[in-house]
């Protein structure tokens, strides 16, 4: 199991990063990214803190990879590109954008700005347009199929358009607690419920593996 969108108590999660990692290990995770909510007010100290815990984790364990990241959240579209650049300069490995979920008041245009900025993952992109999905394919941005209640109501829409355009998808839990973590079997059920077949699911898993290989060097 690879999960590249999770939260600790450094934002709105409930667990220490170390406990989140340990719970993930015991669930069978092989890689996790901690991607707490970020804007210009906290991105510097947040990235530094997550880099420290991931560095220590990767030294201590051989059965899980930890990647420090951020989820840029409720940032005005015009400011997204600058914050993505800043996150990468600070050392965030996985840059996630909080997409236009229908259950939150995300500013219209966020999906497009994030894709143009080249985030790694556009999380829960809601009723994303076909044009933006095609741009995601062109810019190598992964679209998220999520386990998170509420955000997941558009999984079928995202999966259908991504398949049509040939855009990359990943599966993430958007975990805020250990009860949100999922194993391989649960991942498969959620992806099939989104309308994906076995071949599609293998591609989704491989997309996550490629992101881990891109940012983690042994």
- Report whether 65 contacts 31 (CB < 8 A): yes
Q: How many domains in the chain?
A: 1
Residue 218 has pLDDT above 60, yes or no: no
Provide the domain limits for residue 55: 2-215
CATH of residue 195's domain is 3.20.20.140
- Report whether 204 contacts 187 (CB < 8 A): no
Maximum Cα interatomic distance, the chain, rounded to a whole number of Å? 44
Residue 174 has pLDDT above 70, yes or no: yes
pLDDT at 217: 76
Q: Give the confidence band of 79 by pLDDT, cuts at 50, 70, 90.
A: very high
**Closest by Cα among 157, 190, 160 to 172:** 190
Instruction: For residues 5-19, give the mean pLDDT.
Output: 97
């Amino acid at each position: 199991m690879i999960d590249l969108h999770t939260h600790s108590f450094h934002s709105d999660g409930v667990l220490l990063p170390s406990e989140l990692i340990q719970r993930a290990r015991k669930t069978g995770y092989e890689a996790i990214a901690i991607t707490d909510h970020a804007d210009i007010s906290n991105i510097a100290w947040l990235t530094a803190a997550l880099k420290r815990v991931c560095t220590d984790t990767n030294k201590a364990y051989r059965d899980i990879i930890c990647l420090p990241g951020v989820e840029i959240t409720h940032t005005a579209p015009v400011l997204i590109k600058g914050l993505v650049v800043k996150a990468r300069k600070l050392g965030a490995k996985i840059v996630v954008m909080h997409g236009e979920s229908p259950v939150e008041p995300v500013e219209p245009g966020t999906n497009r700005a994030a894709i143009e900025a080249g985030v790694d993952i556009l999380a829960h992109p809601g009723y994303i347009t076909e044009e933006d999905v095609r741009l995601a394919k062109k810019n190598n941005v992964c679209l998220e199929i999520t386990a998170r209640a509420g955000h997941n109501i558009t999984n079928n829409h995202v999966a259908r358009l991504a398949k049509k355009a040939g855009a990359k998808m990943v599966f993430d839990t958007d975990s805020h607690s250990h009860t949100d973590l999922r194993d391989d079997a649960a991942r498969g059920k959620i992806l099939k419920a989104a309308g994906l077949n076995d071949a599609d699911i293998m591609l989704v898993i491989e997309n996550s593996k490629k992101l881990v290989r891109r940012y983690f060097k042994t």
